[in-house]
Structure 1
Amino acid sequence: MKAMLFAAGLGTRLKPFTDHHPKALAEVNGKTLLEHNIRYLQRFGIEDVVVNVHHFGDQIIEVIEENSGFGSWVTISDERDEVLETGGGLKKAAEHFRDEESFLVMNVDVLTNLDLNKLIEEHNRNLAFATLAVMDRDSSRKLLFDHQMILCGWENKETGKQRIVRPTSFRSMAFSGIQILTPQILDMPFEGKFSMIDVYLHFAEEYLIKGFDHTGNVFIDVGKPDSLEKASYLFE
Protein backbone atom coordinates (compact mmCIF):
# COMPACT_ATOMS: atom_id res chain seq x y z
CA MET A 1 0.00 0.00 0.00
CA LYS A 2 1.11 3.56 -0.74
CA ALA A 3 0.56 6.48 1.59
CA MET A 4 0.50 10.26 1.53
CA LEU A 5 1.59 12.52 4.37
CA PHE A 6 0.02 15.97 4.39
CA ALA A 7 2.97 18.21 5.31
CA ALA A 8 2.22 21.41 3.40
CA GLY A 9 0.26 23.32 6.05
CA LEU A 10 1.36 26.64 7.53
CA GLY A 11 1.30 25.30 11.08
CA THR A 12 0.16 28.60 12.56
CA ARG A 13 -0.68 26.96 15.91
CA LEU A 14 2.99 25.98 16.31
CA LYS A 15 4.32 29.50 16.17
CA PRO A 16 7.00 30.73 16.78
CA PHE A 17 8.63 27.51 15.50
CA THR A 18 6.75 27.71 12.20
CA ASP A 19 7.89 31.30 11.60
CA HIS A 20 11.14 29.72 10.39
CA HIS A 21 10.41 26.01 9.84
CA PRO A 22 7.64 23.71 8.57
CA LYS A 23 5.54 21.94 11.21
CA ALA A 24 6.70 18.59 9.82
CA LEU A 25 10.17 19.29 11.24
CA ALA A 26 9.02 20.00 14.80
CA GLU A 27 10.72 17.46 17.04
CA VAL A 28 9.49 14.98 19.63
CA ASN A 29 12.32 13.30 21.54
CA GLY A 30 14.89 14.27 18.94
CA LYS A 31 12.91 13.02 15.94
CA THR A 32 10.86 15.19 13.61
CA LEU A 33 7.16 14.56 13.17
CA LEU A 34 8.03 13.63 9.59
CA GLU A 35 10.42 10.90 10.72
CA HIS A 36 8.04 9.64 13.41
CA ASN A 37 5.27 9.12 10.86
CA ILE A 38 7.43 7.66 8.09
CA ARG A 39 8.67 5.09 10.62
CA TYR A 40 5.12 4.57 11.91
CA LEU A 41 4.01 3.67 8.39
CA GLN A 42 6.98 1.33 8.01
CA ARG A 43 5.78 -0.72 10.98
CA PHE A 44 2.76 -1.69 8.87
CA GLY A 45 4.75 -2.41 5.72
CA ILE A 46 4.02 0.94 4.06
CA GLU A 47 7.29 2.18 2.59
CA ASP A 48 6.16 4.07 -0.54
CA VAL A 49 5.19 7.55 0.65
CA VAL A 50 4.22 10.81 -1.05
CA VAL A 51 4.89 13.96 0.99
CA ASN A 52 3.40 17.28 -0.10
CA VAL A 53 5.30 20.47 0.69
CA HIS A 54 4.57 24.19 0.71
CA HIS A 55 5.58 26.15 3.84
CA PHE A 56 9.43 26.00 3.99
CA GLY A 57 9.21 23.08 1.60
CA ASP A 58 12.93 23.28 0.82
CA GLN A 59 13.71 22.29 4.40
CA ILE A 60 11.55 19.17 4.20
CA ILE A 61 13.09 18.13 0.88
CA GLU A 62 16.59 18.62 2.30
CA VAL A 63 15.87 16.50 5.39
CA ILE A 64 14.37 13.71 3.28
CA GLU A 65 17.36 13.69 0.94
CA GLU A 66 19.92 13.85 3.75
CA ASN A 67 18.28 10.88 5.49
CA SER A 68 17.53 8.83 2.36
CA GLY A 69 13.82 8.96 3.12
CA PHE A 70 14.43 7.38 6.55
CA GLY A 71 14.49 4.04 4.75
CA SER A 72 11.32 4.58 2.69
CA TRP A 73 10.77 5.52 -0.94
CA VAL A 74 9.63 9.14 -0.59
CA THR A 75 8.23 11.21 -3.46
CA ILE A 76 7.65 14.95 -3.16
CA SER A 77 4.42 16.57 -4.33
CA ASP A 78 5.52 20.18 -4.75
CA GLU A 79 2.96 22.80 -3.75
CA ARG A 80 5.44 25.59 -3.06
CA ASP A 81 3.77 27.88 -5.61
CA GLU A 82 0.33 27.61 -3.97
CA VAL A 83 -1.06 26.08 -0.80
CA LEU A 84 -3.92 23.75 -1.74
CA GLU A 85 -5.20 22.46 1.62
CA THR A 86 -5.82 18.75 2.09
CA GLY A 87 -8.25 18.12 -0.78
CA GLY A 88 -6.34 20.17 -3.31
CA GLY A 89 -3.10 18.58 -2.16
CA LEU A 90 -4.40 15.05 -2.71
CA LYS A 91 -5.82 15.98 -6.11
CA LYS A 92 -2.44 17.36 -7.19
CA ALA A 93 -0.79 14.08 -6.16
CA ALA A 94 -3.51 11.90 -7.73
CA GLU A 95 -1.25 10.38 -10.40
CA HIS A 96 0.62 8.47 -7.68
CA PHE A 97 -2.47 6.59 -6.48
CA ARG A 98 -4.76 5.91 -9.47
CA ASP A 99 -3.48 2.35 -9.97
CA GLU A 100 -3.84 1.34 -6.32
CA GLU A 101 -6.67 -0.76 -4.89
CA SER A 102 -6.62 1.59 -1.90
CA PHE A 103 -4.17 3.93 -0.21
CA LEU A 104 -3.62 5.65 3.12
CA VAL A 105 -3.53 9.39 3.78
CA MET A 106 -2.61 11.03 7.09
CA ASN A 107 -1.65 14.37 8.56
CA VAL A 108 2.02 14.71 9.45
CA ASP A 109 1.20 16.47 12.73
CA VAL A 110 -0.62 13.61 14.43
CA LEU A 111 0.98 10.89 16.54
CA THR A 112 -0.85 7.71 17.46
CA ASN A 113 -0.51 4.01 18.24
CA LEU A 114 -3.54 3.12 16.09
CA ASP A 115 -3.10 -0.32 14.51
CA LEU A 116 -3.31 0.53 10.82
CA ASN A 117 -3.85 -3.12 9.92
CA LYS A 118 -7.19 -3.01 11.74
CA LEU A 119 -8.17 0.18 9.91
CA ILE A 120 -7.25 -1.38 6.56
CA GLU A 121 -9.08 -4.62 7.38
CA GLU A 122 -12.24 -2.71 8.29
CA HIS A 123 -12.05 -0.70 5.07
CA ASN A 124 -11.70 -3.86 2.98
CA ARG A 125 -14.44 -5.73 4.87
CA ASN A 126 -16.94 -2.96 4.23
CA LEU A 127 -15.89 -2.39 0.61
CA ALA A 128 -16.00 1.28 1.59
CA PHE A 129 -15.36 4.27 -0.64
CA ALA A 130 -13.40 5.80 2.25
CA THR A 131 -12.77 4.86 5.88
CA LEU A 132 -11.98 7.64 8.35
CA ALA A 133 -10.26 7.09 11.70
CA VAL A 134 -12.27 8.92 14.37
CA MET A 135 -12.38 9.20 18.16
CA ASP A 136 -14.70 10.28 20.92
CA ARG A 137 -12.67 13.28 22.09
CA ASP A 138 -13.00 17.04 22.42
CA SER A 139 -12.85 18.98 19.15
CA SER A 140 -14.50 22.15 17.88
CA ARG A 141 -15.33 20.43 14.59
CA LYS A 142 -16.81 16.96 14.39
CA LEU A 143 -18.04 14.46 11.82
CA LEU A 144 -21.53 13.04 12.24
CA PHE A 145 -22.27 9.32 11.85
CA ASP A 146 -25.35 7.13 12.14
CA HIS A 147 -25.50 4.00 14.33
CA GLN A 148 -23.71 2.02 11.61
CA MET A 149 -20.88 4.57 11.53
CA ILE A 150 -21.86 5.80 8.06
CA LEU A 151 -20.90 9.42 7.48
CA CYS A 152 -23.94 11.70 7.55
CA GLY A 153 -22.59 15.19 8.08
CA TRP A 154 -20.30 17.68 9.80
CA GLU A 155 -20.70 20.29 12.49
CA ASN A 156 -18.84 23.22 14.01
CA LYS A 157 -19.65 22.99 17.70
CA GLU A 158 -18.52 26.57 18.38
CA THR A 159 -20.78 28.22 15.78
CA GLY A 160 -23.53 25.60 15.64
CA LYS A 161 -23.17 25.30 11.86
CA GLN A 162 -24.02 21.91 10.40
CA ARG A 163 -23.80 20.30 6.96
CA ILE A 164 -26.10 17.28 6.76
CA VAL A 165 -26.01 14.87 3.82
CA ARG A 166 -28.00 11.97 5.31
CA PRO A 167 -30.78 13.09 7.69
CA THR A 168 -30.89 10.72 10.69
CA SER A 169 -29.91 10.60 14.36
CA PHE A 170 -26.23 11.35 14.82
CA ARG A 171 -23.17 10.35 16.77
CA SER A 172 -20.51 13.06 16.67
CA MET A 173 -16.86 12.01 16.46
CA ALA A 174 -13.56 13.87 16.06
CA PHE A 175 -11.59 13.09 12.89
CA SER A 176 -8.05 11.85 13.53
CA GLY A 177 -6.63 12.92 10.16
CA ILE A 178 -6.01 9.31 9.08
CA GLN A 179 -7.96 7.68 6.26
CA ILE A 180 -8.01 4.78 3.81
CA LEU A 181 -9.27 5.75 0.36
CA THR A 182 -10.16 4.12 -2.92
CA PRO A 183 -8.79 5.78 -6.09
CA GLN A 184 -12.28 6.64 -7.33
CA ILE A 185 -12.25 9.49 -4.82
CA LEU A 186 -9.53 11.15 -6.89
CA ASP A 187 -12.23 12.18 -9.38
CA MET A 188 -13.35 14.84 -6.91
CA PRO A 189 -15.32 17.68 -8.57
CA PHE A 190 -13.36 20.52 -6.99
CA GLU A 191 -10.46 22.67 -8.16
CA GLY A 192 -7.76 24.69 -6.45
CA LYS A 193 -7.77 25.02 -2.67
CA PHE A 194 -10.28 22.87 -0.75
CA SER A 195 -10.57 20.49 2.19
CA MET A 196 -10.96 16.72 2.22
CA ILE A 197 -14.00 17.27 4.44
CA ASP A 198 -15.72 18.91 1.45
CA VAL A 199 -14.83 15.84 -0.61
CA TYR A 200 -16.24 13.41 1.95
CA LEU A 201 -19.49 15.32 2.36
CA HIS A 202 -19.90 15.47 -1.42
CA PHE A 203 -19.45 11.72 -1.95
CA ALA A 204 -21.29 10.64 1.23
CA GLU A 205 -24.63 11.29 -0.46
CA GLU A 206 -24.01 8.43 -2.89
CA TYR A 207 -21.11 6.30 -1.64
CA LEU A 208 -20.25 4.45 1.56
CA ILE A 209 -17.95 6.51 3.75
CA LYS A 210 -17.41 4.83 7.11
CA GLY A 211 -15.96 5.92 10.40
CA PHE A 212 -13.53 3.68 12.27
CA ASP A 213 -13.71 4.34 16.01
CA HIS A 214 -10.29 4.01 17.63
CA THR A 215 -11.19 5.65 20.93
CA GLY A 216 -8.78 4.36 23.57
CA ASN A 217 -5.69 4.55 21.39
CA VAL A 218 -2.96 7.00 22.24
CA PHE A 219 -3.46 10.02 19.99
CA ILE A 220 -2.06 13.55 19.95
CA ASP A 221 -2.79 16.31 17.48
CA VAL A 222 0.59 18.03 17.69
CA GLY A 223 -0.70 21.47 16.83
CA LYS A 224 0.61 23.57 19.71
CA PRO A 225 3.95 23.83 21.56
CA ASP A 226 2.45 22.31 24.74
CA SER A 227 1.29 19.26 22.76
CA LEU A 228 4.89 18.67 21.66
CA GLU A 229 5.87 18.46 25.31
CA LYS A 230 3.02 16.06 26.05
CA ALA A 231 3.97 13.92 23.07
CA SER A 232 7.53 13.61 24.37
CA TYR A 233 6.21 11.58 27.33
CA LEU A 234 4.25 9.21 25.10
CA PHE A 235 6.32 8.69 21.96
CA GLU A 236 9.96 7.68 21.76
Structure 2
Amino acid sequence: MSLPLMIFAAGKGTRMAPLTDVTPKPLIEVGGQTLLDRALALGQQAGVGRVALNIHHLGDQIRDHVSGRNIVISDESDLLLETGGGLRKALPLLGPGPVITMNPDVVWHGPNPIRALMDNWREDMEALLMLVPLDHTHGRQGGGDFSLDPAGRLIRRGDLVYGGAQIVRPDRLAGVAEDVFSLNRLWDLMIAAGGAHGLIYPGEWCDVGRPDCIALAESLLDA
Protein backbone atom coordinates (compact mmCIF):
# COMPACT_ATOMS: atom_id res chain seq x y z
CA MET A 1 0.00 0.00 0.00
CA SER A 2 1.37 3.39 -1.03
CA LEU A 3 -0.50 6.49 0.14
CA PRO A 4 0.12 10.19 -0.55
CA LEU A 5 1.67 12.30 2.20
CA MET A 6 0.62 15.83 3.16
CA ILE A 7 3.02 17.77 5.41
CA PHE A 8 1.62 20.83 7.16
CA ALA A 9 4.36 23.44 6.68
CA ALA A 10 2.26 26.62 6.58
CA GLY A 11 2.06 27.57 10.27
CA LYS A 12 3.38 30.89 11.56
CA GLY A 13 5.48 29.25 14.28
CA THR A 14 4.46 31.84 16.85
CA ARG A 15 5.64 29.75 19.82
CA MET A 16 9.06 29.35 18.20
CA ALA A 17 9.72 33.12 18.01
CA PRO A 18 12.15 34.82 17.71
CA LEU A 19 13.69 32.04 15.60
CA THR A 20 10.70 32.10 13.26
CA ASP A 21 11.04 35.83 12.66
CA VAL A 22 13.52 34.99 9.90
CA THR A 23 13.15 31.22 9.39
CA PRO A 24 9.95 29.22 8.87
CA LYS A 25 9.59 26.63 11.61
CA PRO A 26 9.86 23.61 9.28
CA LEU A 27 13.36 24.78 8.30
CA ILE A 28 14.65 25.05 11.86
CA GLU A 29 17.37 22.48 12.43
CA VAL A 30 17.40 19.79 15.10
CA GLY A 31 20.54 17.71 15.28
CA GLY A 32 21.87 19.18 12.04
CA GLN A 33 18.76 18.42 9.97
CA THR A 34 15.70 20.56 9.35
CA LEU A 35 12.39 19.47 10.82
CA LEU A 36 10.94 19.34 7.33
CA ASP A 37 13.69 17.05 6.05
CA ARG A 38 13.19 14.75 9.03
CA ALA A 39 9.50 14.44 8.17
CA LEU A 40 10.26 13.89 4.49
CA ALA A 41 12.79 11.21 5.37
CA LEU A 42 10.21 9.32 7.44
CA GLY A 43 7.85 9.39 4.49
CA GLN A 44 10.51 8.20 2.06
CA GLN A 45 11.59 5.39 4.36
CA ALA A 46 7.97 4.28 4.75
CA GLY A 47 7.42 4.19 1.00
CA VAL A 48 4.77 6.89 0.62
CA GLY A 49 3.52 7.99 -2.78
CA ARG A 50 3.04 11.59 -3.88
CA VAL A 51 4.21 14.23 -1.39
CA ALA A 52 2.58 17.64 -0.93
CA LEU A 53 3.18 20.42 1.54
CA ASN A 54 1.47 23.72 2.17
CA ILE A 55 3.23 27.05 2.67
CA HIS A 56 2.33 30.43 4.16
CA HIS A 57 4.79 32.10 6.58
CA LEU A 58 8.10 32.75 4.77
CA GLY A 59 6.85 30.26 2.23
CA ASP A 60 9.40 31.17 -0.45
CA GLN A 61 12.15 29.78 1.77
CA ILE A 62 10.37 26.44 1.97
CA ARG A 63 9.64 26.44 -1.77
CA ASP A 64 13.32 27.06 -2.48
CA HIS A 65 14.39 24.39 0.03
CA VAL A 66 12.44 21.64 -1.74
CA SER A 67 13.06 22.88 -5.27
CA GLY A 68 14.10 20.08 -7.59
CA ARG A 69 12.49 17.38 -5.46
CA ASN A 70 9.37 15.49 -6.43
CA ILE A 71 7.18 17.55 -4.09
CA VAL A 72 4.06 19.56 -4.94
CA ILE A 73 3.22 22.83 -3.18
CA SER A 74 -0.16 24.04 -1.97
CA ASP A 75 0.27 27.82 -1.63
CA GLU A 76 -1.65 29.46 1.22
CA SER A 77 0.23 32.77 1.04
CA ASP A 78 -3.00 34.75 0.74
CA LEU A 79 -4.90 32.99 3.53
CA LEU A 80 -3.75 30.50 6.16
CA LEU A 81 -6.40 27.77 6.13
CA GLU A 82 -5.42 25.75 9.25
CA THR A 83 -5.08 21.98 9.02
CA GLY A 84 -8.56 21.08 7.82
CA GLY A 85 -8.85 23.82 5.25
CA GLY A 86 -5.25 23.26 4.20
CA LEU A 87 -5.80 19.57 3.56
CA ARG A 88 -8.97 20.26 1.59
CA LYS A 89 -7.19 22.78 -0.65
CA ALA A 90 -4.37 20.30 -1.30
CA LEU A 91 -6.60 17.36 -2.24
CA PRO A 92 -6.39 17.97 -6.01
CA LEU A 93 -2.61 17.60 -5.67
CA LEU A 94 -2.87 14.39 -3.66
CA GLY A 95 -5.45 12.39 -5.55
CA PRO A 96 -8.45 10.41 -4.27
CA GLY A 97 -8.60 8.14 -1.25
CA PRO A 98 -6.91 8.11 2.16
CA VAL A 99 -4.07 10.54 2.87
CA ILE A 100 -1.23 10.50 5.38
CA THR A 101 -0.83 13.85 7.12
CA MET A 102 2.11 14.88 9.24
CA ASN A 103 3.15 17.83 11.35
CA PRO A 104 6.88 18.44 10.89
CA ASP A 105 7.47 20.18 14.23
CA VAL A 106 7.97 16.97 16.23
CA VAL A 107 10.74 14.43 16.65
CA TRP A 108 10.11 10.68 16.88
CA HIS A 109 12.49 8.27 18.63
CA GLY A 110 11.57 4.70 17.83
CA PRO A 111 9.78 2.93 14.96
CA ASN A 112 8.83 4.91 11.87
CA PRO A 113 5.35 6.27 12.73
CA ILE A 114 4.22 6.48 9.11
CA ARG A 115 5.17 2.87 8.40
CA ALA A 116 3.35 1.79 11.56
CA LEU A 117 0.20 3.65 10.51
CA MET A 118 0.30 2.08 7.05
CA ASP A 119 0.78 -1.40 8.52
CA ASN A 120 -2.23 -0.98 10.82
CA TRP A 121 -4.62 0.82 8.46
CA ARG A 122 -7.89 -0.95 7.67
CA GLU A 123 -10.44 -0.16 4.99
CA ASP A 124 -13.21 0.20 7.58
CA MET A 125 -11.41 3.12 9.25
CA GLU A 126 -12.08 6.79 8.57
CA ALA A 127 -8.97 7.89 10.44
CA LEU A 128 -6.07 6.30 12.28
CA LEU A 129 -4.16 8.70 14.55
CA MET A 130 -0.74 8.02 16.03
CA LEU A 131 -1.02 8.61 19.78
CA VAL A 132 1.75 8.93 22.35
CA PRO A 133 1.23 8.20 26.07
CA LEU A 134 1.72 11.42 28.01
CA ASP A 135 4.61 9.95 29.99
CA HIS A 136 6.46 9.21 26.72
CA THR A 137 6.34 12.82 25.53
CA HIS A 138 8.97 15.55 25.88
CA GLY A 139 8.33 19.28 25.67
CA ARG A 140 4.60 18.75 25.91
CA GLN A 141 2.65 21.46 27.72
CA GLY A 142 -0.75 20.46 29.05
CA GLY A 143 -2.45 17.12 29.28
CA GLY A 144 -3.47 14.47 26.80
CA ASP A 145 -5.97 14.59 23.96
CA PHE A 146 -7.62 11.18 23.68
CA SER A 147 -8.20 7.73 25.10
CA LEU A 148 -9.26 4.56 23.29
CA ASP A 149 -12.20 2.24 23.77
CA PRO A 150 -11.63 -1.56 23.73
CA ALA A 151 -12.00 -1.59 19.93
CA GLY A 152 -9.32 1.07 19.50
CA ARG A 153 -11.76 3.86 18.65
CA LEU A 154 -11.01 7.43 19.72
CA ILE A 155 -12.58 9.01 22.78
CA ARG A 156 -12.06 12.69 23.53
CA ARG A 157 -9.99 13.35 26.67
CA GLY A 158 -7.44 11.06 28.19
CA ASP A 159 -3.69 10.71 28.62
CA LEU A 160 -2.85 9.95 24.97
CA VAL A 161 -1.34 12.82 22.97
CA TYR A 162 -1.91 13.19 19.23
CA GLY A 163 1.59 12.90 17.80
CA GLY A 164 0.95 14.80 14.59
CA ALA A 165 0.75 11.85 12.18
CA GLN A 166 -2.33 10.08 10.86
CA ILE A 167 -4.03 8.39 7.94
CA VAL A 168 -7.36 10.02 7.17
CA ARG A 169 -10.14 9.70 4.61
CA PRO A 170 -10.87 13.24 3.41
CA ASP A 171 -14.46 12.63 2.23
CA ARG A 172 -16.11 14.54 5.09
CA LEU A 173 -14.10 17.69 4.32
CA ALA A 174 -16.61 18.56 1.61
CA GLY A 175 -19.32 18.95 4.24
CA VAL A 176 -17.55 21.69 6.24
CA ALA A 177 -18.87 25.12 5.26
CA GLU A 178 -15.98 27.24 6.51
CA ASP A 179 -12.81 27.85 4.51
CA VAL A 180 -10.57 28.01 7.60
CA PHE A 181 -10.92 25.16 10.08
CA SER A 182 -8.98 22.59 12.07
CA LEU A 183 -8.90 18.85 11.49
CA ASN A 184 -10.56 18.63 14.90
CA ARG A 185 -13.83 19.38 13.08
CA LEU A 186 -13.31 16.30 10.95
CA TRP A 187 -12.28 14.11 13.87
CA ASP A 188 -15.39 15.05 15.86
CA LEU A 189 -17.59 13.91 12.99
CA MET A 190 -15.65 10.67 12.68
CA ILE A 191 -15.68 10.02 16.43
CA ALA A 192 -19.46 10.45 16.46
CA ALA A 193 -19.75 7.92 13.63
CA GLY A 194 -17.35 5.46 15.27
CA GLY A 195 -14.85 5.71 12.42
CA ALA A 196 -11.89 7.39 14.16
CA HIS A 197 -9.25 5.04 15.58
CA GLY A 198 -5.93 5.40 17.35
CA LEU A 199 -2.60 3.58 17.39
CA ILE A 200 -0.29 3.90 20.39
CA TYR A 201 3.32 4.74 19.56
CA PRO A 202 5.80 2.50 21.41
CA GLY A 203 8.71 4.96 21.39
CA GLU A 204 9.39 8.50 22.61
CA TRP A 205 8.21 11.77 21.09
CA CYS A 206 9.17 15.43 21.44
CA ASP A 207 7.17 18.54 20.61
CA VAL A 208 9.55 21.00 18.92
CA GLY A 209 7.26 24.00 19.18
CA ARG A 210 9.42 26.30 21.32
CA PRO A 211 13.11 27.26 21.24
CA ASP A 212 13.81 25.39 24.49
CA CYS A 213 12.44 22.19 22.92
CA ILE A 214 15.31 21.99 20.42
CA ALA A 215 17.76 20.85 23.10
CA LEU A 216 15.17 18.37 24.42
CA ALA A 217 14.75 16.87 20.97
CA GLU A 218 18.48 16.64 20.37
CA SER A 219 18.97 14.90 23.72
CA LEU A 220 16.25 12.43 22.76
CA LEU A 221 17.91 11.71 19.41
CA ASP A 222 21.23 11.14 21.17
CA ALA A 223 19.71 8.70 23.68
Q: Does the pair score TM above 0.5?
A: yes
Deviation string 1:132-168 (CA, Å, 9 cap, x unpaired) is 1111116445124323221233x5xxxxxxxxxxxxx
* 1:200 lines up with 2:196 in the alignment: no
Structure 1 residues without counterparts, runs of 5 or longer: 156-170
Q: 1:188: how far off?
A: 4.0
Aligned equivalent of 1:179, options 166, 175, 191: 166
Aligned equivalent of 1:227, options 202, 213, 223: 213
Q: 1:47: how far off?
A: 5.0
Structure 2 residues without counterparts, runs of 5 or longer: 135-139
Q: Are residues 141 and 86 of structure 1, via their aligned partners in 2, closer, same or farther at CA, if it must alter by over 3 Å?
A: farther
- Equivalent pairs counted in the alignment come to 212
Deviation string 1:39-89 (CA, Å, 9 cap, x unpaired) is 111111125210100111111101111xx33xxx21100001011111111
The match for 1:97 is 94
Structure 1 contact 145–172 (Cα < 8 Å) conserved = no
Deviation string 1:177-224 (CA, Å, 9 cap, x unpaired) is 11001242443424221111121002321241101111x312111111
Secondary structure in structure 2 of the residue aligned to 1:43 = helix
Alignment partners' CA distance in 2, 1:223 and 1:118: 24
Deviation string 1:83-127 (CA, Å, 9 cap, x unpaired) is 111111111112133423x22101011121343322212222x62
What are the equivalent positions in structure 2 for 1:69-108 lying under 5 Å apart?
Answer: 69=69, 73-100=70-97, 102-108=98-104
What are the equivalent positions in structure 2 for 1:137-216 lying under 5 Å apart?
Answer: 137=134, 139-140=142-143, 142-153=145-156, 155=157, 171-214=158-201, 216=202
The match for 2:137 is none
The match for 2:106 is 110
Q: TM-score, normalised by structure 1?
A: 0.82
**Which amino acid in 1 is paired with 2:23?**
H
Q: 1:18: how far off?
A: 0.8
Alignment partners' CA distance in 1, 2:144 and 2:220: 25
Alignment partners' CA distance in 1, 2:59 and 2:178: 22
Instruction: Report the aligned-residue RMSD.
Output: 2.0
The match for 1:26 is 28
Alignment partners' CA distance in 2, 1:108 and 1:188: 27
Alignment partners' CA distance in 1, 2:39 and 2:55: 15
Alignment partners' CA distance in 1, 2:38 and 2:209: 15
Q: Are residues 205 and 98 of structure 1, via their aligned partners in 2, closer, same or farther at CA, if it must alter by over 3 Å?
A: farther
Alignment partners' CA distance in 2, 1:104 and 1:235: 24
Q: TM-score, normalised by structure 2?
A: 0.87
The match for 1:8 is 10
The match for 1:128 is 125
**Which amino acid in 2 is paired with 1:117?**
R
Q: 1:8: how far off?
A: 0.6
**Which amino acid in 2 is paired with 1:222?**
V
Q: Are residues 56 and 222 of structure 1, via their aligned partners in 2, closer, same or farther at CA, if it must alter by over 3 Å?
A: same
Structure 2 contact 6–53 (Cα < 8 Å) conserved = yes
* 1:217 lines up with 2:203 in the alignment: yes
**Which amino acid in 1 is paired with 2:214?**
L
